[in-house]
Amino acid sequence: DVVGEIGLDVLVRRLRPLKREKQVDFTVVNGENAAGLGLFPAQAEEILDAGADVITLGNHTFDKHQIRPMLEESPFLLRPANYTARAPGRGTGYYDMGRCSVRVISLQGRVNLNYNCDNPFTAADRILKDAERATFTLVDFHAEATSEKLAMGYYLDGRVSALWGTHTHVPTADERVCPKGTGYITDLGMTGVIESVLGIDPRQSVEGFLGGLPGRYRAPEGPAKLQGAIFTLDSATGLCTAVERIDIR
DSSP three-state, residue 238: coil
155 close to 121: Cβ distance less than 8 angstroms: yes
174 close to 186: Cβ distance less than 8 angstroms: yes
Helices (H), 112-165: 120-130, 146-156
Closest CA to 69 of 92, 51, 42, 50: 42
Backbone angles phi, psi at 141, to 5 degrees: -105, 105
Does residue 65 have an active-site annotation?
A: no
Closest CA to 111 of 71, 140, 133, 141: 141
Q: Which of 60, 142, 167, 169 is catalytic?
A: 60
Residues forming the active site: 60
